[in-house]
């Protein structure tokens, strides 16, 4: 299972992450830290005028390949999506986006850090 | 010298790997594996002697009480201490919390200073932050040099401040592997401040070095039995008996077993020091297991254990420093128990995962030393740590296992 974790898609997303950077203007921002390894992501989100849809999102941070790939993929998945939908996502959606059947409890923390950061940012609204 | 290949046979988990593959266990600084004799001692206690201690007049209770007392004596004597100086708890963290509640809350005032260091495990750091919040005391942090040793100039400076009441430091760093020159430090601390109290975190030294509580001349020594071949949930501390008998250190857990007499108006506590700090039914089986671990280590000889560890650490350092993709952290000498490193461009968790796929168990992360990792800008490190059952072949397996990281990440 451990070696299967590092599929081409994950390595590619981890080492060429999408949506990394900073927004000139944004509506909400936050930073989350993983208590198991100290990895941290910060995120900035620009919303539609009625504040219901994610118009743009940029993030920064460092993490393991799983964390970086997951953040890269979920950040792309969030674009132009309703915030109400994003807030419903969980481990199932993250496993799907990474094309994984399962993940160990410790690595699940790595996988979930990106989504957790985005969700805690949206909850600040 | 230890014959680790033969010792290996004493540890069932290392010989009966569930996957059928040989387990290379390099995470002993987190917890050690347990020899069959210790597992048997615990089982035997439950099969033949289990009853509550100090609670009954029946034979089994007497037998269990005798076993409890004998185990306490064995453990205390392993550390060169008296039985009454031993407080058995679950681990080092619980012991250090006990010092904060039993000593700190009664002896620190607003403005007093607690000196600790940047290389401490969170258990010897967060506890003092919380104590400082409760008492208004201040924390001063001793720096660590670039090569991972305690900055002795910074230490002198902090110890020379007025109102220093407590020095809390580790014997061996769980991340850097650094062995602190504790004899020199204690001497200096006592010269500068005869009334200082000293807490030594021996979690990472007790499994590898001969320890003599009396000779170390510290006031409190906290240890984790589960890191020194003992069962999970075994650990505790030694407290200099003068602090216990004078009442400077007070009980912080109250209830059954630790009292002298209880009346509606007032309760007095047991004058027997070994009882005063044991509230409630103790974990006798863990004490039995830990005593068996002390016997096991004594049979090996702690000098032999120390030599074996030194050999493994030096071998690992030599092998790992040679790998250009790694940056080994910590000093090159005077270190104990472990070697931690960063892998260029690959996160520690990913390295550990690839090693796990080859049945090599290492620790990755911040190892509960976030302030140290932050100060050195290390996101996370990989740590290989050792115990008596490890061999140079395990380190060779690690080096070979690291090749696979290169393959997967193409670095």
pLDDT tens for B87-142 read 999 999 999 999 999 999 999 999 999 999 999 999 999 999 999 999 999 999 99
pLDDT computed for residue B19 by the predictor: 58
Strands (E), chain A: 28-33, 40-47, 54-62
Chain A residue with CA closest to B346: the answer is A64
B346–A contact, CB cutoff 8 A = yes
The DSSP secondary-structure symbol of B86 reads E
The distance of B68 to chain A (nearest Cα, Å) reads 37
All structural domains of chain B, each given as residue ranges with its CATH number in brackets, are 4-30+301-409 (3.90.1150.10), 40-298 (3.40.640.10)
The distance of A48 to chain B (nearest Cα, Å) reads 35
The distance of A62 to chain B (nearest Cα, Å) reads 8
CA dihedral over B29, B30, B36, B41, signed as positive or negative: positive
Neighbours of B280 (CB within 10 A): 11
Nearest to A75 by CA among A122, A7, A125, A27: A122
Coil, strand or helix at A62: strand
Partners of residue B384 on adjacent β-strands = B339
CA distance B238 to A18: 54
Chain B residue with CA closest to A104: the answer is B353
CA distance B368 to B231: 21
Q: Give B57-66's long-range contacts (Cβ < 8 A, gap of 24+).
A: B64/B284
CA distance B121 to B128: 12
CA distance B357 to A2: 5
Chain A environment of B364 (Cβ under 8 Å): 37
Residue B294 among the catalytic residues? no
A38, A40, A70: best to mutate for the B interface, most B CBs within 10 A = A38
Chain A environment of B408 (Cβ under 8 Å): 3, 6, 11
Coil, strand or helix at A30: strand
Chain A environment of B354 (Cβ under 8 Å): 2-3, 6
A63–B contact, CB cutoff 8 A = yes
B356–A contact, CB cutoff 8 A = yes
CA distance A51 to A27: 9
The distance of A114 to chain B (nearest Cα, Å) reads 16
Chain A residue with CA closest to B377: the answer is A38
* Alpha-carbon distances of B207 from A112, B254, B353, rounded to whole Å: 36, 31, 26
Interchain pair A64, B349: CB under 8 A? yes
What tens digit of pLDDT does each residue of B138-186 get? 999 999 999 999 999 999 999 999 999 999 999 999 999 999 999 999 9
Coil, strand or helix at A105: helix
Predicted ipTM > 0.90: no
Interchain pair B354, A6: CB under 8 A? yes
Interchain pair A66, B357: CB under 8 A? no
CA distance B96 to A15: 42
Chain A environment of B365 (Cβ under 8 Å): 36-38
Interchain pair B357, A62: CB under 8 A? no
Show pLDDT as tens, one digit a residue, over chain B (411 residues).
898 888 999 999 999 866 567 899 999 999 999 999 999 999 999 999 999 998 778 999 999 999 999 999 999 999 999 999 999 999 999 999 999 999 999 999 999 999 999 999 999 999 999 999 999 999 999 999 999 999 999 999 999 999 999 999 999 999 999 999 999 999 999 999 999 999 999 999 999 999 999 999 999 999 999 999 999 999 999 999 999 999 999 999 999 999 999 999 999 999 999 899 999 999 999 999 999 999 999 999 999 999 999 999 999 999 999 999 999 999 999 999 999 999 999 999 999 999 999 999 999 999 999 999 999 999 999 999 999 999 999 999 999 999 999 999 887
Among candidates A2, A6, A62 on the partner chain, residue whose Cβ is nearest the Cβ of B379: A62
Nearest to A116 by CA among A81, A80, A91: A91
B344–A contact, CB cutoff 8 A = no
Interchain pair B408, A3: CB under 8 A? yes
CA distance B376 to B372: 6
Partners of residue B24 on adjacent β-strands = B360
Chain A residue with CA closest to B343: the answer is A64
CA distance B335 to A100: 41
Across the A:B interface, residue pairs with CB atoms under 8 Å apart total: 56
Strands (E), B105-258: 113-117, 138-142, 164-170, 197-201, 220-224, 235-239
Chain A residue with CA closest to B408: the answer is A6
Single out the catalytic residue among B368, B382, B388, B398. B368
The number of CA neighbours under 13 Å toward the Cβ of B267 is 11
Neighbours of B27 (CB within 10 A): 21
Task: Please give the CATH topology (third level) of the domain spanning A2-122.
Answer: Sufe protein. Chain: A (3.90.1010)
Among candidates B346, B353, B380 on the partner chain, residue whose Cβ is nearest the Cβ of A38: B380
């Amino acid at each position: 299972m451990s070696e299967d974790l590092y599929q081409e898609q994950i390595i590619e997303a981890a080492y060429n992450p999408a949506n990394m950077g900073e927004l000139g203007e944004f509506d909400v921002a936050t930073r989350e830290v993983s208590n198991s390894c100290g990895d941290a992501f910060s995120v900035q989100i620009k919303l539609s005028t009625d504040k219901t849809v994610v118009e743009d999102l940029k993030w920064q941070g460092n993490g393991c390949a799983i964390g970086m790939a997951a953040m890269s993929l979920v950040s792309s998945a969030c674009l132009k999506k309703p915030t109400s939908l994003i807030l419903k996502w969980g481990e199932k959606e993250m496993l799907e986006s990474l094309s994984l059947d399962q993940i160990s409890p410790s690595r699940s923390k790595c996988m979930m850090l990106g989504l957790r950061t985005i969700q805690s940012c949206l909850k600040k609204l | 010298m230890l014959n680790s290949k033969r010792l290996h046979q004493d540890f069932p988990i290392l010989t009966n790997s569930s996957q059928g593959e040989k387990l290379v266990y390099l995470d002993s600084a987190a917890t050690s594996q347990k020899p069959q004799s210790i597992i048997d001692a615990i089982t035997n206690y439950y099969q033949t002697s289990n009853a509550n201690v100090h609670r009954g007049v029946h034979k089994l209770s007497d037998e269990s009480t005798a076993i409890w007392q004998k185990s306490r004596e064995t453990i205390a004597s392993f550390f060169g201490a008296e039985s009454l100086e031993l407080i058995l708890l679950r681990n080092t963290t619980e012991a250090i919390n006990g010092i904060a509640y039993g000593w700190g809350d009664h002896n620190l005032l607003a403005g007093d200073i607690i000196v600790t260091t940047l290389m401490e495990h969170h258990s010897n750091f967060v506890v003092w932050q919380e104590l400082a919040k409760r008492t208004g005391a201040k924390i001063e942090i001793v720096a660590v040099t670039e090569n991972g040793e305690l900055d002795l100039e910074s230490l002198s400076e902090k110890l020379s401040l007025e109102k220093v009441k407590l020095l809390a430091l580790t014997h061996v760093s769980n991340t850097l592997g650094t062995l602190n020159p504790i004899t020199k430090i204690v001497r200096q601390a006592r010269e500068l401040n005869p009334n200082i109290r000293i807490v030594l975190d021996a979690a990472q030294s007790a499994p590898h070095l001969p320890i003599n509580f009396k000779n170390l001349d510290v006031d409190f020594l906290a240890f984790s039995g589960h890191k020194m071949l003992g069962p999970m949930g075994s650990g505790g501390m030694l407290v200099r008996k003068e602090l216990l008998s004078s009442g400077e250190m007070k009980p912080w857990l109250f209830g059954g077993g630790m009292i002298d007499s209880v009346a509606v108006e007032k309760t007095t506590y047991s004058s027997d020091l070994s009882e005063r700090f044991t509230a409630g039914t103790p974990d006798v089986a863990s004490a039995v297991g830990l005593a068996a671990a002390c016997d096991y280590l004594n049979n090996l000889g702690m000098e032999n254990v120390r030599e074996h560890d030194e050999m493994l650490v030096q071998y690992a350092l030599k092998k790992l420093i040679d790998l250009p993709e790694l940056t080994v952290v910590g000093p090159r000498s005077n270190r104990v128990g472990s070697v931690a490193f960063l892998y260029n461009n690959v996160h520690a968790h990913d390295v550990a995962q690839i090693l796990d796929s080859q049945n090599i168990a290492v620790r990755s992360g911040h190892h509960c030393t976030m302030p140290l990792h932050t100060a050195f800008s290390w996101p996370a490190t990989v740590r290989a740590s050792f115990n008596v059952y490890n061999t140079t072949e395990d380190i060779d397996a690690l080096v070979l296992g690291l090749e696979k990281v290169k393959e997967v990440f193409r670095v």
